[in-house]
Amino acid sequence: MQQLVKRHISKYIEQQKSKFPIIAVTGPRQSGKTTLLKNIFKDYRYISLENPDVRAFATEDPNGFLNEYNNKVIFDEVQKAPLLFSYLQGIVDESKIMGQFILSGSQNFHLMQGITQSLAGRVALFKLLPFDLSELKANNLLEDSFAETCVKGFYPAIYDREIQPGIYFTNYIQTYVEKDVTELLNIKDLRAFRTFIGLCANQAGQLLNLSALANACNISQPTAKNWLSVLESSYIVYLLQPYYENFNKRLVKTPKLYFYDSGLLCHLLKIKTSEALTKNRLKGNIFENMVITELQKQNYHNYLNNEYYFWQDNHANEVDLLMSTDEGFSIFEIKATQTITSDLFKNMDKFEANASPKKVEKTLIYGGLENQKRSKYKILSWRDPK
């Protein structure tokens, strides 16, 4: 299986495979995990636990299964056979072989549960998300405008097989999202769940309002919380946490909701073209979603281990993205506009005043194409966020 787009994460996996007995790669379905691993580990056997016969073997006779597949093996969707994790622990502790097993999975909760319970300290863990902007740029696949890019999204199949985004995402929801849902939760009313996903899309880039989601779907708040956890576990949405340090003000402590892919987000909002996006009232939220997710992708794909937050006080002063640094903070304002005005910097300046005497690096990421380096600010095009 030939990899058409070189994934940045490849070199970091290569670096760690001689240092850990197990490499684990998690990420959304269809983000390219299987292709990536088959390209890096060409001499390894590939075993998919999606296959019912293989899964039955692994579940009913784990000793026999691991006698058969005991070295240089990729186990895909390994969370479907959770018994294997404790057996793998014993094997790698005894063998001391580095890179002995490669694990991958698209349900983060079950995969991480297996790793933390049985394999802690034995695994180098990676997250592979859909393409990031620099991967697309390097292969001349990046669209000219952020609106086109947002609507198209970043899933590899859209680029590799030139599938129309609308067709791809319709099938993605039916084939993968609802499949994961039925496996993780016994949801009898899929229509209500589809409504729930659509309402989550309307909250993208905003403070999470779980009670509003529950009321609109006519479900209880604990049910809404469970449904949201499934979407998180399946890499559809994620929550960005607020930064709590109190600069003598009351701070918002509710997380914000984002989608891992702007194309799926646009599809759920029934935005089918770049023209429709530019006229949509949620344009700013969608742009913010794309940029913040891009920075998360760079974080995971380049193995940086940064922790991102947002900051907002009770007067609605807000910083879209914040990262703590050794000297203070690196903060980002994210605006879809293509015109730079002084108003775009005022929230960052307010934060800097509150954070004093700590040093604050201020970056504006906007919808235009030109980068600028000013004395007090860095200004980056959406095509080059860093």
pLDDT digits (tens, 9 = 90+) for 262-317: 999 999 999 999 999 999 999 999 999 999 999 999 999 999 999 999 999 888 88
Class of domain 133-282: mainly alpha
**Cα-atom radius of gyration of the chain, to the nearest Å?**
22
Q: What's the pLDDT score for residue 192? A: 86
- The DSSP 8-state label assigned to residue 342 in this structure reads G
- The DSSP 8-state label assigned to residue 343 in this structure reads G
Mean pLDDT, residues 20-33: 96
| Residue 90 structure tokens | 């014993």
Q: What's the pLDDT score for residue 169? A: 97
Mean pLDDT, residues 333-356: 94
| String of DSSP letters for 19-83 | T-SEEEEE--TTSSHHHHHHHH-TTSEEEETTSHHHHHHHHH-HHHHHHHS-SSEEEETGGGSTT
**Phi, then psi, of 23 in degrees rounded to 5:** -110, 130
Mean pLDDT, residues 320-331: 96
Beta-bridge partner residues of 238: 258
Q: What's the pLDDT score for residue 247? A: 66
CA angle 55–61–63, rounded 5-degree value = 115
Q: What's the pLDDT score for residue 3? A: 57
Q: What's the pLDDT score for residue 373? A: 86
Which of 52-61, 177-186, 225-234, 343-352 has the least mean pLDDT?
Answer: 177-186
| Residue 359 structure tokens | 């040093």
Per-residue confidence at 246, pLDDT binned at 50, 70, 90?
low
Asked if residues 133 and 123 have their Cβ atoms less than 8 Å apart, the reply is no
190 pLDDT more than 90: no
- Residue 303 CB burial class (10 angstroms; 0-12, 13-18, ≥19): middle
- Per DSSP, which regions of the chain are E strands? 22-26, 45-48, 73-76, 101-105, 123-127, 237-240, 256-259, 308-312, 318-324, 328-335, 359-366, 372-373, 378-381
Q: How far apart are the first and last CA of the chain?
A: 31
| Residue 31 structure tokens | 């983000």
Task: Tell me the three state secondary structure of residue 375.
Answer: coil
Just give the CATH number of 9-127: 3.40.50.300
pLDDT tens-place string over residues 111-160: 788 888 888 899 999 999 999 999 999 999 999 999 999 999 999 999 99
248 pLDDT more than 70: no
Q: What's the pLDDT score for residue 56? A: 97
Q: What's the pLDDT score for residue 47? A: 98
Q: Where are the domains of the chain?
A: 9-127, 133-282, 308-381
* Average model confidence (pLDDT) across the chain: 93
Q: What's the pLDDT score for residue 245? A: 73
Per-residue confidence at 1, pLDDT binned at 50, 70, 90?
very low
Which of 12-26, 140-154, 171-185 has the least mean pLDDT?
Answer: 171-185
Q: Minimal CA–CA distance to 44: which of 76, 74, 88, 12?
A: 74
